[in-house]
Amino acid sequence: MEITWRLATLGIFLCTLPHLGDRLAADLNWSELNLNMEKMHRAMASVEPSGNSDVDFVSLMLPHHQGAIDMAKAQLLHGTDPQMRRLAQEITTDQQSEIALMQLWLRQHSPSSLKESQAPSPGMGKEIR
């Protein structure tokens, strides 16, 4: 009787192994997605207001887009649905392109570049007599 009980217990345990592996993979994926979101929120919360709504928008969107990329990469690692994997790849490509555009815009609109573009050019402001 004891051997039958042990064999039954072992059989039940072995039947649950595939599901346990699936559950561990799902937990790992969920943890990775949540860590990526927490990282994104910390980065967004650390942005200091500049007083320029355009600069503030871009400064907040940069970590937001990076968070989307990080989540899409987690999907590519753990996801199996072809449509969602394709979407994750498109998100990665699109968001990287938009990040590059925003970084360029920020460099062109940084406080130092704005002061230079607003400063009078040599000879401007002088009266011609």
Q: From first to last of the 129 residues of the chain, give the pLDDT tens digit.
A: 567 766 666 566 656 656 655 665 567 778 899 999 999 999 999 999 999 999 999 999 999 999 999 999 999 999 999 999 999 999 999 999 999 999 999 999 976 655 554 444 444 444 433
pLDDT of residue 27: 79
Give the pLDDT of residue 28.
79
Q: Which H, E and C letters describe the chain, residue by residue? A: CHHHHHHHHHHHHHHHHHHHHHHHHHHHHHHHHHHHHHHHHHHHHCCCCCCCHHHHHHHHHHHHHHHHHHHHHHHHHHCCCHHHHHHHHHHHHHHHHHHHHHHHHHHHCCHHHHHHHHCCCCCCCCCCC
Query: How many other CB atoms sit within 10 Å of the CB of residue 72?
Result: 23
Question: Backbone phi, then psi, for 126, in 5-degree steps?
Answer: -95, 140
Tokens matching residue 91 = 């998100």
Its pTM surpasses 0.85: no
